[in-house]
């Protein structure tokens, strides 16, 4: 049960492992039910949550990651969203082209708007599209830093791997972003 003191006593060990088993079984069954209902992986990742009686620590993984693993285990990596999934092309390439056509400043501004609307993941996608073409774009890098900070504050610090990634991205893009801008 992790990296803490050992769990001692048959009843406590049985209870801890029983709860973990039941939580994994719940996520598995809920994911399969939604797959069979024809839902896409991202919808299922948002929908499946453990009920309070099955709460287990998610410090080294998360329910949404387990859902994705189960989904891909049953259906494979092909999400049936685009023919481009079948080929070795980075899905961000088209987004970078669109950002270039729309104008980096306009896309960075939209990223800022999405961040301020409480949509940090969409803001990240938009900022990354700009930065794929111009890795020195200050406004897009600033949005990227602030979006990762927002994800940390929204609970991204509870998981070891997620918080490490978010902090890495903040450190990576902070030099490009420069100091925070007050709006």
Distance CA 30, CA 26 (A): 6
* Reported pTM: 0.76
Percent of the chain beyond pLDDT 70? 97
Write the pLDDT tens digit of every residue in 140-174: 999 999 999 999 999 988 888 899 999 999 999 99
3-class secondary structure, 39: coil
- Write down the mean pLDDT value for the chain: 91
Exposed/middle/buried for 27, CB within 10 Å: 0-12, 13-18, 19+?
buried
Model confidence at 68, in pLDDT bands (50, 70, 90)?
Answer: very high
Mention every residue, 6+ apart, whose C-beta is less than 8 A from residue 74: 32, 35
Write the pLDDT tens digit of every residue in 69-123: 999 999 988 877 788 888 888 878 888 899 999 999 999 999 999 999 999 999 9
Q: Are 123 and 143 in contact (CB under 8 A)?
A: yes
Of the two residues 110 and 16, the one the predictor is more confident about is 110
Q: Is the pLDDT of residue 183 over 60?
A: no
Q: Are 52 and 23 in contact (CB under 8 A)?
A: no
Give, as one character, the DSSP assignment of residue 59. Answer: T
HSE-up (13 A, CA, CB side) for residue 13: 6
């Amino acid at each position: 049960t992790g990296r803490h003191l050992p769990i001692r006593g048959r009843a406590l060990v049985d209870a801890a492992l029983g709860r973990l088993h039941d939580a994994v079984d719940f996520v598995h069954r809920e994911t399969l039910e939604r797959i069979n209902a024809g839902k896409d992986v991202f919808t299922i990742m948002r929908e499946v949550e453990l009920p309070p009686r099955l709460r287990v620590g998610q410090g080294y993984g998360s329910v949404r990651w387990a859902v994705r693993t189960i989904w891909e285990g049953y259906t494979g990596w092909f999400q049936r969203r685009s023919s481009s999934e079948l080929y070795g092309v980075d899905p961000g390439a088209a987004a970078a082209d669109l950002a270039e056509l729309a104008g980096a400043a306009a896309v960075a501004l939209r990223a800022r708007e999405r961040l301020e609307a409480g949509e940090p993941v969409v803001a990240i996608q938009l900022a990354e599209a700009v930065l794929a073409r111009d890795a020195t774009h200050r406004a897009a890098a600033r949005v990227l830093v602030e979006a990762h900070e927002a994800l940390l504050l929204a609970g991204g610090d509870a998981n070891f791997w997620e918080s490490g990634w978010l902090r890495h991205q903040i450190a990576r893009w902070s030099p490009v972003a420069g100091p925070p801008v007050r709006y």
